[in-house]
Amino acid sequence: QKEVEQNSGPLSVPEGAIASLNCTYSDRGSQSFFWYRQYSGKSPELIMSIYSNGDKEDGRFTAQLNKASQYVSLLIRDSQPSDSATYLCAADTGTASKLTFGTGTRLQVTL
């Protein structure tokens, strides 16, 4: 069973702090990794994609990938209340590009 694991949270951080979200995956054949944000009752919205080991930065977001450890993370700098949502980690299994999702980490940014 190919799995993606996330801590369900909630992860609570104060406004302006750094939020750190983590994810591990079991399929060593996975090549592509994605972070989606999902507000309650809404559809997943792509935040970041990462394909190579190392860091990838986009604005306040940084994705980190370590294939040897089978670990993906998402850092959100200067967290805002509008960042409060569930963050879904997904791995492309490489087979027909279907995505395997974690159950998501709920982030709460407090004032």
Using CB under 8 A, list all residues that contact another protein: 31-32, 34, 36, 42-46, 49, 88, 90, 92, 94-104
Q: Report the residue number, 16 or 59, with the smaller CB distance to another protein.
A: 59
15 vs 58, beta carbon nearer another protein: 58
CB of 39 to another protein, least distance (A): 12
Q: Please, what's the largest Cα pairwise distance for the chain?
A: 43
